[in-house]
Amino acid sequence: MPGLPHPHDPAAREDHEQHGTRQDGQQPTVQWAQWDEARRIAYGLPQPLPNILLPLAQCQDEVLAEAVTAEMPVPHYASAAADGWAVAGDGPWRIRVPQPTETDERLLLTLPPEKRMLPVVELTAGEATHVNTGDAVPFGTTAVLEAHRGHVVPADPTAQIPEDTEHGRKPEEGDTLEDATPAAPLVKNQDVRAVGEEIEQGDLLLRAGRKLNPVHLGLAASAGHDMLPVRRRPRVTVLLGFANVVEDGIPGPGEVRDSLSLQLPAVLHELGANVDQVRRVADGAQGTVSALTESPMGANSLLDARAEIVVTTGGTGHGEDDHVRQALEELDAHLIIDGVAQEPAHGVILAKLPEDGPVVLALPGSPLSAITGLLTVGHALIAGATGEGMPVTRRITAGQGLDPAGVTRIIPAYLQDGRVVPEPATGPAMLSGLAHADVLLVVPEDGMKPGQDMEVVPLPWRV
């Protein structure tokens, strides 16, 4: 297969610009797309997926698709904000206590303990009843008198009344409650949590676009929600090659320890996708063709058949190992992007399989190249599928200079004293720089000067 020109060869761009729409109505393949152009193309490729409803327990880290309002007020009943006495009107107050559900003690014992007493549900002026923090206050309550302010006067001071060893004498129906600190009169609704005090029914609870955290889920539950509308994650199948890969232990000469099977699914989830399968693919174009057209046998086959995005690694170069491009051409896939004019990850390919098949994001096989391509082109592709906005970049002042390289470089960098500084380990197979990085730094073809305003790509696990 004839190779493509070098990614920063001007002839490659001129050749692309001279071509219009293909005869089949599809846009021509963009060869060696600029890095920001590749992101825009990837973002506009998928149709946004429909939103879904998920139970609250499954909404952690999902993105809210629509604004959510309160189904009920919070609190939804008037309650005591302190231990003490619910009172109605001015004191002193006649004490009321819960009464037995049954007058016949034998019948009373047949009931569950929690149903043996009738609570006081209403107070009229001059009445009071004991409440604990969080208890519903009776209808007619004007305030809660804290326990230390209440002084109980027995209705019959001579009566022999049993003592409560923890709280002293038990109040009885008809006893009188007095305020021990009348110089500080009660105000209306003192120590009463009113209905809707925090949130009224219909109030805006959560705005669309929020990444849901545990507190959001608790708030939604407190306002009456069981499910929330979230953006649906695209389903992804990851296809990894076998060549010279060791999945555990210490690799031998000519072998490499597998890292992508661990990284790619985790990064894809951070970017908003769900990985249904990670599969090893037989080397060569035929192995890739089979993997893209045949679902495996067994329980996973249905999941695989429903993938909206397929991510592959390796085989995107222009040499003997160029099997991904060959497989895509055999399948009559539409190559949308064939190479990106950046280092690393210049071998990124973006294609669409025919008959409304999945989008294929083919990444280079070197670890840093693969992750860089995923964080740039892949992130934009996933954002387009979920209906989110284009992934944003930031501007940060350069902390040092870099010589021109003739090609855009996307390299790991860290922040120091408000400035961005490149990590030293930036080779396509190196992960140590990215492991310690805060951002990806976009270095243009003409290099970087200290103090220059630079574009950076935030890392999802550092946001």
Residue 1, pLDDT > 70, answer: no
Backbone φ and ψ for 274, nearest 5 degrees, come out as -110, 125
Is 463 contained in some domain?
no
Q: Out of 335, 352, 386, pick the residue that ends a domain.
A: 386
Is 158 contained in some domain?
yes
| pLDDT (0 to 100) of residue 321 | 75
| pLDDT (0 to 100) of residue 6 | 44
Domain at 71, CATH number? 3.90.105.10
146 in Cβ contact with 132 (< 8 Å):
no
Q: Encode burial over 93-123: b for 16+ CB neighbours within 10 A, e otherwise.
A: bbbbeeeeeeeeeeeeeeeeeeeeeeebeeb
Domain at 434, CATH number? 2.40.340.10
* Span of 237-246, 257-266, 273-282, 353-362 with lowest mean pLDDT: 237-246
Q: Out of 360, 386, 412, pick the residue that ends a domain.
A: 386
- Percentage of the chain modeled with pLDDT above 90: 65
What's the farthest any 2 CA atoms get from each other in the chain?
111
Is 23 contained in some domain?
yes
Centroid of chain to Cα 450? 36
Is 3 contained in some domain?
no
- Percentage of the chain modeled with pLDDT above 70: 89
| pLDDT (0 to 100) of residue 104 | 78
Rounded to 5°, angle at Cα 462 from 460 and 463 = 70
Indicate whether 265 and 378 sit together in one domain. yes
Is 132 contained in some domain?
yes
* Span of 128-142, 298-312, 328-342, 399-413 with lowest mean pLDDT: 298-312
Centroid of chain to Cα 358? 24
Name the residue with higher pLDDT: 115 or 353: 353
Residue 8, pLDDT > 70, answer: no
CA dihedral over 97, 101, 107, 111, signed as positive or negative: negative
Indicate whether 45 and 163 sit together in one domain. no
Domain at 379, CATH number? 3.40.980.10
Indicate whether 161 and 102 sit together in one domain. yes
Is 1 contained in some domain?
no
Indicate whether 371 and 271 sit together in one domain. yes
Q: What is the 3-state secondary structure (H, E, C) of 327-392?
A: HHHHCCCEEEEEEECEECCCCCEEEECCCCCCEEEEECCCHHHHHHHHHHHHHHHHHHHHCCCCCC
Indicate whether 94 and 164 sit together in one domain. yes
282 in Cβ contact with 245 (< 8 Å):
no
Indicate whether 239 and 351 sit together in one domain. yes
Indicate whether 187 and 262 sit together in one domain. no
* Span of 164-178, 183-197, 230-244, 403-417 with lowest mean pLDDT: 164-178
Indicate whether 119 and 208 sit together in one domain. no
177 in Cβ contact with 150 (< 8 Å):
yes
Indicate whether 247 and 349 sit together in one domain. yes
| pLDDT (0 to 100) of residue 296 | 62
Q: What is the mean pLDDT of residues 81-102?
A: 92
Residue 14, pLDDT > 50, answer: no
30 in Cβ contact with 41 (< 8 Å):
yes
Q: How far apart are CA 277 and CA 295, in angstroms?
A: 11
Name the residue with higher pLDDT: 154 or 230: 230
428 in Cβ contact with 313 (< 8 Å):
no
* Span of 40-54, 110-124, 260-274 with lowest mean pLDDT: 110-124
> Could you read off the pLDDT of 226-269 as tens digits, one per residue?
999 999 999 999 999 766 787 788 888 887 888 888 999 999 99
Among residues 404, 417, 411, 414, which one has the least CA distance to residue 369?
411
Is 333 contained in some domain?
yes
Is 364 contained in some domain?
yes
Indicate whether 272 and 359 sit together in one domain. yes
Length of the chain: 463
Name the pLDDT band for 17 (thresholds 50, 70, 90). Answer: very low
Name the pLDDT band for 210 (thresholds 50, 70, 90). Answer: very high
Q: How many domains does the chain have?
A: 4
Indicate whether 253 and 363 sit together in one domain. yes
Q: What is the mean pLDDT of residues 139-146?
A: 95
Name the pLDDT band for 297 (thresholds 50, 70, 90). Answer: low
Name the pLDDT band for 165 (thresholds 50, 70, 90). Answer: very low
Name the residue with higher pLDDT: 119 or 233: 233
Indicate whether 142 and 252 sit together in one domain. no
Name the pLDDT band for 398 (thresholds 50, 70, 90). Answer: very high
Q: Out of 193, 222, 247, pick the residue that ends a domain.
A: 193
The whole-chain average pLDDT of the chain stands at 88
**Domain hosting residue 112, numbered range:** 79-193
Domain at 107, CATH number? 2.170.190.11
